[in-house]
Amino acid sequence: MDSPILLLLALLVALVHCFPDDYHSHNSTRHHDYCVLGAGPAGLQMGHFLSKSQRDYIILERNSGPGSFFNIYPRHRKLISINKIYTGRRNREFNLRHDWNSLLSDRPDLLLQRVSRELYPDADSFPRYLSMYVKELGLKVQYGVDIGKIRASESESPRGRGYILTDQRGLDYTCRVLLVSTGLWDPQKVQFEGSDLVEGYESIPVDPEEYKDQAVLILGKGNSAFETAQSILGRASRIHLYSPSPVRLAWQTHYVGDLRAVNNELLDTYQLKSLDGLVEGGLEDIAIVRNGEDEKKRSGRKKKCRSSGKEKRGKLFLTLAELLDSSDGKNSSKVTATNLPVYHNDNFSLRQPYDRVIRCLGFRFNFSIFDGSARPPSSEGARGRLPGVTAWYEGRGTPDLFVLGTAAHSRDYRSSAGGFIHGFRYTVRAVHRVLELRYHSNSWPAIKLSISQLQSWLLRRVNEASGPYQMFGVLGDIILLRGSHCEYLEEFPLQALPQFSSLSGHQLSKHGLLVLVLQYGLNRTDSLGPGRAESEWTRAWRSNFLHPVLYYYDKLPTKRDMRHRPVGWPLPRPKAVHHMIEDFLTEWDGPISHSQPLRRFLEHCLHTDLRAFYAESCFRFSLTNRKPPLFCRQGYLRKHGVVRNSQLWQHAHEAGLMLGGQDSASPETDPSFPDYLTRAGASVSSAINLDF
């Protein structure tokens, strides 16, 4: 009697042990302070910062490895992001200006160049680089977790609002802060009559032989459209690109999302009249129809083609929806001549039929996984393809939910590089600094500098900093003036300046602040024509290309000031502004053209003599003036102007040359200055040893 019962119990125990761990936790919940959704470049970049600050986080990825987007896209497997290995410099920060693929880390060798040496790498190299990044930094990534639903949870704990993420197995992940870095996956589509006859960029064949002697119409004029056209340029008989807007060239607009030269060979064949071309027109008003072949004939021919393994499709015509007899959305084969534009205009550009019509309209954010409590609104710009976020990348109306990477590009759409790796690696770092203050009371990192050293630090930043260089007009350095010293904060989101204190943890003093920005000029000139650049420093305000600009405010701009700033300006009108003349080499270190005008601007704002002097001059000033120049007080009289000599220091002290209080402190008692010298390096001596 007992034997069957014991046998049954043993069988149940065995079955329980056979189930995977996921079964036991099917209805359980896993909690983390931070959930990062997506193991693409933005998610991994945030993972690095969270790991470095030792936070409780998890990166959730639905696929089996990081960067899965790049396993598919771009379809023709060539990245258009620059991987410039040789710059003539060994400065890591400077070299990141020309490395558009690597993520930020403390490892100097953790760069894409370890995987690819090509200027435009093969797309397959990027997931390999990301896998290396995850492994070497030990990031916490959980693969195979496909989050299908996200909702907000109102908790009564001190943590307040949180988020619940449910995966494909019904397992819940809860987090205090949700960081969405899913990128853009959903193809952008336009509905019109005959849109089901159109092939999508995401599914077209990539073998050029498939297009041999075919006429192809491509909807779109972005990089994906031109990439597709370029791949079949030597096989297709005719390629036309159609979209509402004219083509925009990146080297003209300075926006890297516009057409890159690496993809634009079709412009040659168009302008040199070799059968290819570009046409403008609305997408919502068109229709794609097949030729008027009888349905019975077509059905019979399909059967014959299937038996031979080859199906020949009918020709496709582009027409206007208003010319069709019916508007029921069906693709009628009974199209007559009067339904085609050529009947009404025999010079209609797209009057010839096509073998293929391909949609290349880009991608959009996937809003479907968010329920009403957690769904960020659509952006006002970018045709609503992106989520709307604040200037510090928090979803509008979704507190504690931040959007990272390409999906956060609505903040600088078509104006900077926030939608691309070389841009959003810096905005992700800015978001992390916001998180550190809000949830852990750690203020934005700041460097304390004496005013006499501000100029050389500014020159160092404009000549090597990669963040403001890549995120021009979006991230800027903030200098809080404190009288004889200042606090220097790097790469703050400029549009969040009205909320500066609450986001950074630093307060403004009565002395005001300076903002350092790199920006392009507003003068629309021929990018390759004569007179395209200014060279005279007195006309620096007319610079066209990327150049540093300093804004001085005596108080923080308000939200209203930001809304009413001049068109094209990243900031409101300041009390004073200084443009540093654009430079062909992007080296702003000329004594006459760059350093001297900068010093005079700083003197105007600070009401202080900032000239630099040799030790001999400081010695003379100290003997003949009650108050030597600031540079001498903060440098020479602290033994920074001559070789250290205890006898000279004692002599100066006994002679009353050393001022009392803070200014008389020895360099050993001022921890900020030695740290500054270490950071500034050679730029200090090269910039400040000039007595103008």
| Residue 684: per-residue pLDDT | 35
The amino acid that residue 642 corresponds to is: V
Residue 256: give the domain boundaries: 195-294+314-359
Specify if 600 maps to a domain: yes
Shared-domain flag, residues 213 and 351: yes
Describe the strand order of the beta sheet including 576-579 as a list of residue ranges. Answer: 446-450, 485-493, 475-481, 513-519, 547-553, 576-579
448 and 574 inside one domain: yes
Report whether 127 contacts 68 (CB < 8 A): yes
Question: Is the torsion defined by CA of 372, 364, 140, 443 positive or negative?
Answer: negative
Alpha helices in 221-264 (DSSP H): 223-231, 250-253
Judgement on whether residues 248 and 137 belong to the same structural domain of the protein: no
Joined tokens for residue 647 = 């006898």
Strands, E assignment, 445-523:
446-450, 475-481, 485-493, 513-519
> Are 369 and 352 part of one and the same domain?
no
For residue 2, tell me if it sits in a domain.
no
Residue 264 lies in a domain: yes
Give the separation between CA 564 and CA 325, rounded to whole angstroms: 50
DSSP 42: H
Domain assignment of residue 247, yes or no? yes
**Whole-angstrom Cα distance, residue 113 to residue 90?**
14
Domain assignment present for 684: no
Tell whether 411 and 459 lie within a shared domain.
Answer: no
Residue 4 lies in a domain: no
Same domain, yes or no: 535 and 396: no
What token pair was written down for 436? 């550190």
pLDDT digits (tens, 9 = 90+) for 15-55: 444 444 443 344 578 999 999 999 999 999 999 999 999 99
Tell me, what's the pLDDT at 8? 56
Same-domain check for residues 277 and 401 = no
321 & 383 share domain: no
DSSP for 350-416 reads: T-S-BSEEEE---EE---TTB-TTTPPPBPSSGGG-SB-B-TTSBBTT-TTEEE-GGGGGGGSTTTS
Using alpha carbons, select from 263, 183, 204, 199 the residue that is nearest to residue 229.
Answer: 263
- What's the pLDDT tens digit per position in 638-685? 776 544 456 666 666 666 555 444 343 443 444 444 443 344 433 333
> Is residue 19 situated within a structural domain?
no
Pull the structure tokens for residue 58: 């998890």
CB 162 within 8 A of CB 153: yes
- What pLDDT score does 626 carry? 85
Domain co-membership, 339 together with 413: no
Sign of dihedral through CA atoms 341, 345, 350, 354? positive
Cβ atoms of 36 and 59 within 8 Å: the answer is yes
Q: Which residue has the tokens 């983390």?
A: 32
- The pLDDT of residue 653 is 64
- Whether residue 466 sits in one domain with residue 586: yes
Q: Residue 8 domain-assigned?
A: no
Please give the angle made by the CA atoms of 645, 651 and 656, to the nearest 5 degrees. 130
Q: Are 424 and 404 in contact (CB under 8 A)?
A: yes
Give the CATH number, domain containing residue 281: 3.50.50.60
Can you spell out the DSSP letters for 97-145?
GGBSSPPP-S-TT-SGGGT---SS-BTTHHHHHHHHHHHHHT--EEES-
Co-location of 119 and 53 in the same domain: yes
Domain tally for the chain? 4
Identify which of 317, 363, 356, 359 has the alpha carbon closest to the alpha carbon of residue 340: 317
Rounded to whole angstroms, how far apart are CA atoms 230 and 112? 26
Number of Cα atoms under 13 Å in the Cβ half of residue 393: 33
E-state strands within 468-563: 475-481, 485-493, 513-519, 547-553
Name the phi and psi angles at 597, rounded to 5: -60, -35
Q: How many angstroms separate the CA atoms of 237 and 214, rounded?
A: 5
Q: Which of 467, 471, 585, 464 is nearest to 520 (CA)?
A: 471
User: What type of residue is 22?
Assistant: D
Same domain flag for 53 and 109 = yes
pLDDT at 160: 66
Predicted local distance difference test score (pLDDT) of residue 412: 96
Residue matched to tokens 């340029």: 233
- Residues in the chain with pLDDT values less than 50: 1, 13, 15-26, 156, 293-298, 301-302, 305-310, 327-333, 642-644, 659-692
